[in-house]
Amino acid sequence: MAGKNDDLRTPQKRCATILGYPISIFFIVVNEFCERFSYYGMRAVLVLYFKYFLGWDDNFATTIYHTFVALCYLTPILGAIIADSWLGKFKTIVYLSIVYAVGQIILSVSAVNDITDKDIDGTPDNMALHIALSMVGLLLIALGTGGIKPCVAAFGGDQFQEHQEKQRSTFFSIFYLSINAGSLLSTLITPILRGQKCGIYSEQQCYPLAFGVPAVLMVVALVVFIIGSRMYNKTAPQGNILVKVCKCIGFALKNRFRHRSSQYSKRAHWMDWAEEKYDKLLIAQVKMVLKVLFLYIPLPMFWALFDQQGSRWTIQATTMNGDFGFFVLQPDQMQIVNPILILVLVPIMDSVVYPLISKCNLNFTPLRRMTVGMFLAALAFVAAALVQIEIDKTLPTFPSGTVSQAKFINMLNKQLDIKAGPKEFTLQPFTASDDYLTSDTPLNLTLGPDAAYKLNLPMGNRSTVVITRDGPQKPCPTIFSDLKSKPDQGANAIRFLNGFASDLNVTVGEKDFGAIYTNNVSRYELVPQGDAKFHIKNNGQKCIYSQKLGFGSSFTLIIQPNFTTETNCGKSIRPVMDIEPNTVHMAWLIPQYFLITAGEVVFSVTGLEFSYSQAPSNMKSVLQAGWLLTVAVGNIIVLIVAEAAKLPDQWAEYILFASLLVLVCIIFAIMAYFYTYTDPAKIESQFDQMEPEEKKKEKSVEMERRSSDSSSDEEVNKQSRI
């Protein structure tokens, strides 16, 4: 019986305190820190997991990412209803945290490629299983994180007595700080974990570790929360006000529809049709809520842009240079800029910007602040578009299915005059042509005065034509396939072309290029940014060749016939750049992150403050649910726009989103202009102060009106019979 009635306890006087604070809140704060670390850490690497592990393209990875985020912000409504109407906050947090932790564990397991890599080639053999596990894990995570979202902060507030208002206020500040601390640390740490190499049979990007650490933190969060169980004040479920509001609105609509005939007397507001069943105070409170919810209609567009930091902007960073000198920033670590700027901008806005605006006698109302925040977010996407245009200038153009591209390398120890189709050029010994030649037909190739060939280059692909000698005199071309896309995640694709008279073996780190035969090229190996040391072996002798690598480049390293294993073997190796490294620096992303974060501070913080001030005392949770719903709808908008627009260029999609937000911003500004601020406490007090006689008089008038409506009903029924 004790377990069954846990949530029926009223606040206990025996709760121990430290410095005036209940000990129980420390368990809640630690729980929130670990949970936020778990959520944001997993989310930081999620879109890259979709793109590089599951092999989805950018658009589909973005679609699934935003579907997941939308679910995370839809499920809080379900969690609030379960907590307030059935289980109570404590049990809801415990049960859904278990679901949450199981989801994190399943997601971690789904990232282990070795579980289906039967042929030990580093690639999962049953990708469908990994996808299924990932989707089950994400579904459970969305249910868990969303379900506990409306419960944890409110449960923390329940731990304080009425005389502890100051301590309660401080608790919510600490609670918010724990959220940002968890987000900040996880966004920094999990991308580092992802960048590690791990695996049983073959080493890969360590997504199991990147997801596994957040899973462990979620288990820790659950254990810490349960440890404090005996210290908590657990209030009984008292019914969910959201359900009551929905029922009241539903009854008003139904009653209004039933009395739609012109014979019925009109009422001042359509919600007044609920007076037959609900008291006037509740109806007045619902009117205030609906007034604010109407203003929420344009808000999802802001979140449609804001949440693309974890999808489109992260993918954008993968094509940039992350070398900051003292450290190298991973693409998914750029998201750390947001929480850092929040910690900086919030006090600046509150202590400097807003007071300055006030001194200038400008009426910078909350709704005007929100309008400015939306405009700043639109500017952020304009900045993202400008950066994307610069990135696109540096990206290689790969051939489509109807054309081919070819580069030529002269491995002869003499100058060679080449005519390839209409183009004529000269290659010095052991050099390559500057650019790829594009052709949509078989290529007529002339090598010097005597050698002519017709090359059938593979359509839709890049190739390298290596020119060696066939017999004593005649030059001969050999076609080798090149990369079909730019190397991912800032890695560099390296291969060797062996012009030496004997076979060679090359290694770099733990990567082995295998045996490279004379006049042949090795397979490509992905090598990280930095000063790569290649160990080249020949008959037991070895030399080390160093090559400085950036982000996302591709090289063919030509080993010349005069190769030697002496210490300075670099003189006999010539690098040929097939794909240039990323040259646009990640620092250029900072302006767009600054604009979007400034917009968030002005929009989100002000929006929550505005909603709280305009909400009736017992319906603040209803507006909180409405606010979270705008985030969910915003992520759904991303899915619709990204799938419907199908724009060929990413910069154009950024401009489209910016334009849509500017349009919505104008609409919101017009709506805000006509909005009249209310004082919910004042309105509620008017109902509390009504004299009994006035209530009786009001009741008498109500009975007369109902009698009149009843007479009208009879008249309508008579006419319907006729």
Digit-coded pLDDT (tens) for 400-421: 878 899 999 999 888 888 888 8
Given a cut of 80, is residue 92 above it in pLDDT?
Answer: yes
Kindly provide the b/e burial profile for residues 359-377, where b requires at least 16 CB atoms within 10 angstroms of the residue's own CB.
Answer: eeeeebebbbbbbbbbbbb
- C-alpha–C-alpha distance, residues 107 and 109, integer Å: 5
Looking at residue 343, what is its pLDDT? 84
The stretch 166-170 carries a mean pLDDT of: 75
Query: What proportion of the chain, given as a percentage, has pLDDT over 90?
Result: 35
First vs last Cα of the chain: how many Å apart? 63
Query: ∠ CA(499), CA(503), CA(504), 5° rounding?
Result: 85
Higher pLDDT, 544 or 138: 138
- C-alpha–C-alpha distance, residues 175 and 274, integer Å: 39
Looking at residue 567, what is its pLDDT? 62
Give 662's pLDDT tier (boundaries 50, 70, 90): very high
Looking at residue 171, what is its pLDDT? 79
Asked if 620 contacts 684 with a C-beta cutoff of 8 angstroms, the reply is: no
Higher pLDDT, 178 or 107: 107
> CA distances (Å), 643 to each of 56, 60, 385, 411, 522, in order?
15, 9, 19, 48, 40
- C-alpha–C-alpha distance, residues 190 and 482, integer Å: 33
Query: What proportion of the chain, given as a percentage, has pLDDT over 70?
Result: 91
Q: Nearest Cα to 310, choosing from 330, 333, 286? A: 333
172-181, 236-245, 653-662, 673-682: range with highest mean pLDDT = 653-662
Looking at residue 692, what is its pLDDT? 54
DSSP letter assigned to residue 604: I
Given a cut of 80, is residue 164 above it in pLDDT?
Answer: no
Higher pLDDT, 49 or 712: 49
Give 510's pLDDT tier (boundaries 50, 70, 90): confident
Give 652's pLDDT tier (boundaries 50, 70, 90): very high
Give residue 167's Cα distance to chain centre. Answer: 35
- C-alpha–C-alpha distance, residues 49 and 54, integer Å: 7
Given a cut of 60, is residue 711 above it in pLDDT?
Answer: no
Lowest mean pLDDT among 362-366, 371-375, 636-640, 700-704: 700-704
Looking at residue 180, what is its pLDDT? 82
- C-alpha–C-alpha distance, residues 598 and 372, integer Å: 10
159-163, 527-531, 700-704: range with highest mean pLDDT = 527-531
- Tens-digit pLDDT profile for residues 72-82: 999 988 888 88
Surface-to-core class of residue 383, CB atoms within 10 Å of its CB (0-12 exposed, 13-18 middle, 19+ buried): buried
Looking at residue 700, what is its pLDDT? 56
Looking at residue 718, what is its pLDDT? 39
Higher pLDDT, 13 or 645: 645
Given a cut of 90, is residue 446 above it in pLDDT?
Answer: no
Q: Nearest Cα to 546, choosing from 560, 529, 533? A: 533
- Tens-digit pLDDT profile for residues 212-255: 999 999 999 999 999 988 888 887 777 777 788 888 888 888 88
266-275, 375-384, 639-648: range with highest mean pLDDT = 375-384
Which residue is it, tokens 């993918």? 315
Given a cut of 70, is residue 328 above it in pLDDT?
Answer: yes
The stretch 259-273 carries a mean pLDDT of: 81
Q: Nearest Cα to 150, choosing from 71, 214, 73? A: 73
Higher pLDDT, 108 or 159: 108
- C-alpha–C-alpha distance, residues 560 and 549, integer Å: 21
The stretch 521-527 carries a mean pLDDT of: 92
Q: Taken in order 99, 100, 102, 107, is the CA torsion positive or negative?
A: positive
Residue 368 three-state SS: helix
Looking at residue 704, what is its pLDDT? 54
Higher pLDDT, 708 or 521: 521
Q: Nearest Cα to 672, choosing from 366, 269, 376, 287? A: 366
Looking at residue 49, what is its pLDDT? 93
Give 696's pLDDT tier (boundaries 50, 70, 90): low
Looking at residue 212, what is its pLDDT? 94
- List residues bridging with 225 in a β-sheet: none
- C-alpha–C-alpha distance, residues 420 and 168, integer Å: 78
- Tens-digit pLDDT profile for residues 170-206: 777 788 778 888 888 999 999 999 988 887 777 788 9
Looking at residue 691, what is its pLDDT? 47
Give 473's pLDDT tier (boundaries 50, 70, 90): low
Give 123's pLDDT tier (boundaries 50, 70, 90): confident
- C-alpha–C-alpha distance, residues 306 and 381, integer Å: 9
- Tens-digit pLDDT profile for residues 631-650: 999 999 998 887 777 788 89
Strand pairing of 492-498 and 520-521?
antiparallel
- C-alpha–C-alpha distance, residues 281 and 620, integer Å: 15
Given a cut of 80, is residue 7 above it in pLDDT?
Answer: no
Tell me the average pLDDT of the chain.
84
Give 161's pLDDT tier (boundaries 50, 70, 90): confident
Looking at residue 719, what is its pLDDT? 37
Lowest mean pLDDT among 45-54, 386-395, 466-475: 466-475
